[in-house]
Amino acid sequence: MAVEPTETSAGDAQAGPGKQAACCGGKASLAKKIFLALALIVAVLAAVIAMQPAEFRIERSIAVSAPPAEVFAEVDDLHNWEAWSPWLEADPQAKTEYEGASSGDGAIFKWSGNSNVGEGSMTIVESRPDELVRIKLQFLRPMAGESTAEFTFKPEGEQTEVTWSMFGHNNFLSKAIHMFIDMDAMIGGQFEKGLSKLKAVAEAKAGK
């Protein structure tokens, strides 16, 4: 006995390819929407990063019971930094090298250590006895960059107010990092630690 095909089975056969096309089209549409959403997020994030401050400045101060000349000498001679620099303490095995003048203008200190200290150099570019030491900082790793550090020494009665600051330009990567990491707290904390040790060294030599 022959069985004739029904209208329903023929209709289903014809609808099969259409359903598959619709399914594939839906997946492609969803993927496109996801891509556009991600592109929008990236664009917004890039715009927010670009709007961050173009310059940065980190600064800490401390009162030292020693004359300006005593504290100035501990900073102006880069060899003395080994006694109070917080970064040299972070890696006692770091390789260090001194070049140029023994102190003051033209004195150069280079270092290369672990991930805590990285690699770079600092050069004294201006030295005014008992008043100012300005240093050019060049970093090679973990991230290349340049900035300026300054130490000022201000007489305050029988004490000296010592201010350690660092400032420079924020490139796009630096702006992004500053959005997620509190650089003022991180670097400023190291400044505070170094200034406390500098205070102890200078006061000990001044007999305080």
What does the pLDDT read at residue 124?
98
Higher pLDDT pick, 144 / 177: 144
What does the pLDDT read at residue 52?
73
Of 109, 113, 162, 160, which is closest to residue 138 (Cα–Cα)?
A: 109
Question: In the numeric block, which tokens belong to residue 71?
Answer: 């504290």
Q: The CATH number of 55-205 is which of 3.40.50.1820, 3.30.1490.20, 3.30.530.20, 1.10.1040.10?
A: 3.30.530.20
What does the pLDDT read at residue 198?
97
137-155 pLDDT per residue, tens: 999 998 888 999 999 999 9
- Mean pLDDT value across residues 104-130: 95
List C-alpha distances in Å: 78 to 30, 53, 87, 91, 186.
Answer: 61, 32, 13, 17, 23
Residue 13's pLDDT band, with cuts at 50, 70 and 90, is very low
Q: Are 86 and 193 in contact (CB under 8 A)?
A: yes
- Mean pLDDT value across residues 178-185: 76
Q: What is the mean pLDDT of the chain?
A: 85
Angle at 187 between CA 185 and CA 193, to 5 degrees: 95
pLDDT at 6 over 60: no
Residue 10's pLDDT band, with cuts at 50, 70 and 90, is very low
- Domain boundaries along the sequence of the chain: 10-51, 55-205
pLDDT at 178 over 70: no
Residue 88's pLDDT band, with cuts at 50, 70 and 90, is confident
Quickly count helices (H) and strands (E) in the chain: 5, 7
**What is the Cα–Cα distance from 53 to 87, expressed in whole angstroms?**
26
The pTM for the full model equals: 0.73
**What is the Cα–Cα distance from 109 to 94, expressed in whole angstroms?**
12
Question: In the numeric block, which tokens belong to residue 174?
Answer: 């630096």
